[in-house]
Structure 1
């Protein structure tokens, strides 16, 4: 274990920079914080572990493969993204997914902007057995602190890639994977859409929905009927309903 006491230390400066998307993408690194997320991260590889001097590591954690730094609680607050920190953070490497066997249960994300929504959707997708999540252009950063916290560790358990959705949908259709858009236009109630062993669900932006160009490429569009007087459902809630229908 190494100790750092100064906010001017180069390691502290480097960790603080990881709170910006530009620096994360430049370095290929991101931060996770809190006991649960750090424990999940340790199962998949952590580069550096940062802990407050006033906490203890759980006995069952295996930290032999990473550098461990002890810092004052004041420094933890400088590095952490949350106001009330648990005193434990980890620096992780962004994953490059192996595109070996093509996935057959896929979630496509078109321009979702809220990090909490994206994280919740990823968590739901992983729980429902989705094999691949594809983030299209305009979607909020996967490694935003709020996104990571909202996944509750699911980002470590399901492959997530960024791709051009138009090209990816074309590839799916060539593989005869049905693609179901979510929209009111030319759509059926989701329960009327026949389930299949392989499928891709396409979710869109909270305000404007799925881009028209993608909706025109789908096998079928579907919607969730609204029984009450609300105009719409939160996109993360809608994702859960549709995903569990198909799986």
Structure 2
């Protein structure tokens, strides 16, 4: 059992809380019974489970490497206010080959809660993938992972230049629709093609002009009350479900 927060393993686990550490090791940290089990059941490579000394390992971890730690050590690696006493190191996956039908594209969304909700909603709506553009918060940030409620283990998350992805999708016959205000039509008067990539943008600045220029179509959600705008995750939820009807 590891009892010192100065232990090398503890320091390595804490490095996974930063994007640089996740990139260097090709792994990330999740915390809590639900998320660990979602990763396990989803077929992700669970490299190691970290278990607090007073917590009993669930039966489904029988074939997994388990490291027991003291209360003090677990508190040092935990990010939640009331830790459940279980965490796991999960290996990152390589980009899968996908037959795109419905895709969510995210342009520079920076709030972890918003991104987690976007991923969770795309999963719920049955989308094939979420593509994250440059400037978007790291999807393996602990706050993003918690906000997905496990959906990050159910739906492919791709990253890269959205301009390049847009050109690639259009070449594959996917209609690219951008959520915008200027030069846009109400979303419910939009066409509903079989293959759709929906772009949503940064909380303050929206979608970059370059992306708006190459999108096939622009849509907006009418505001009936006095609110200036909708939260990006709420707006995306409305639009995602519209494009699967």
- TM-score above 0.5: yes
Gaps of 5+ in 1: none
What does the per-residue CA deviation read over 1:11-64, in whole Å, with 9 as the maximum and x for residues that have no partner? 1111111111111111111000011101101122210000111111233x2340
Cα pair 2:3 2:72 within 8 Å, conserved: no
Give 1:136 shift. 0.4
Cα pair 1:148 1:155 within 8 Å, conserved: yes
RMSD over aligned Cα, in angstroms? 1.0
Taking the aligned partners of 2:23 and 2:227, their CA distance within structure 1 comes to 39
Partner in structure 2 of residue 28 of structure 1: 26
SS of match in other structure, 2:199: strand
Taking the aligned partners of 1:98 and 1:144, their CA distance within structure 2 comes to 21
Gaps of 5+ in 2: none
Correspondent of 1:190 among 176, 187, 192: 187
Cα distance, 1:233–1:63 mapped onto 2, change above 3 Å: farther
Alignment partner of 1:200 is 2:197: yes
Taking the aligned partners of 2:62 and 2:189, their CA distance within structure 1 comes to 50
Partner in structure 1 of residue 53 of structure 2: 53
SS of match in other structure, 1:139: coil
Taking the aligned partners of 2:72 and 2:82, their CA distance within structure 1 comes to 12
Give 1:142 shift. 0.7
Give 1:131 shift. 0.2
Q: State the number of aligned residues.
A: 242
Cα pair 1:107 1:200 within 8 Å, conserved: yes
Alignment partner of 1:218 is 2:219: no
Give 1:4 shift. 1.5
Cα pair 2:119 2:151 within 8 Å, conserved: yes
What does the per-residue CA deviation read over 1:200-237, in whole Å, with 9 as the maximum and x for residues that have no partner? 00000000000011001111100111111000000011
